[in-house]
Amino acid sequence: MDNKFLDILLETKELKNSLYSILKHSFLYHSNKIEGSTFTTEALALLLDKNVVTGKHTLDDVQETVNSSYVFDTIVETLGTKISHSFLKNLHSSLMFNTTIHSKGYAGIYKKIPNMIIGTDTKVAQPFEVEPKLEELFEWYYNLKNITLDDIAEFHYRFELIHPFQDGNGRIGRFLMLKQMLENNLPIKIVSWDTEDLYRNSLKLSSIGNYSPLSTYLKTLPDFREEYKEFWENV
């Protein structure tokens, strides 16, 4: 299927103030802020464009923000590559490089200690369940035909319910959603920090077999492609 948006996105990868840089900045700003990053949109732009850090941040916040920039590039560079155990572990290892999680030996490996989604009573997978549940998820997803936003919502919910890593599951999950939207020529929905409560509530209200709360939430978000169509539609 023709995907002009993706073609222009790839063509502008090395250009500043381009479609690629705008999507990268917007996605990283919101996804990281949801997880507590203190980078403002201006401070993030300086970091991405000039490698300059301004403001007061923890070392982990700085390192994870830098790392997330590389993970974004990896997501775009590996479009078409199937999500697998090695793919997930490489993403997580890159995201957590040189952070506290990395120093504790938890980067790039599935969780060894039971964890939870803070602020909820949702029961997530136990460590021994992670690999088989992910295998089931991969098999289901790659047997789908004509993938839709509803399918991506289901994948995201099931991934977060597995919660495969000790930390960083939300960010990895949102990176995977971006990958899936780009690969399937779908509206680009960026989970925004100012709708964080709605996002978390949609996850809380969803359940296995009922993904409509999360799907409905995603559909209410603006389509990045429409917001910035002057950067690609008539090029």
Domain boundaries, the chain: 4-231
pTM for the model: 0.96
Mean pLDDT value of segment 154-164: 97
Going by the DSSP 8-state scheme, the letter that residue 100 receives in this structure is H
Q: Which residues are catalytic?
A: 163
If pLDDT is split at 50, 70 and 90, which confidence band does 130 have? Answer: very high
What percentage of the chain exceeds 70 in pLDDT? Answer: 99
Q: Tokens 């460590």 sit at which residue? A: 127
- The two structure tokens encoding residue 173: 């999950």
Going by the DSSP 8-state scheme, the letter that residue 124 receives in this structure is P
d(CA 93, CA 100): 12
* 55 annotated ligand-binding residue: no
* 108 annotated ligand-binding residue: no
First to last CA, the chain: 18
pLDDT at 155: 98
* 119 annotated ligand-binding residue: no
* 73 annotated ligand-binding residue: no
pLDDT at 119: 67
To which CATH superfamily is domain 4-231 assigned?
Answer: Fido-like domain (1.10.3290.10)
Q: Tokens 């950067």 sit at which residue? A: 231
Going by the DSSP 8-state scheme, the letter that residue 121 receives in this structure is -
Residue 92 has pLDDT above 60, yes or no: yes
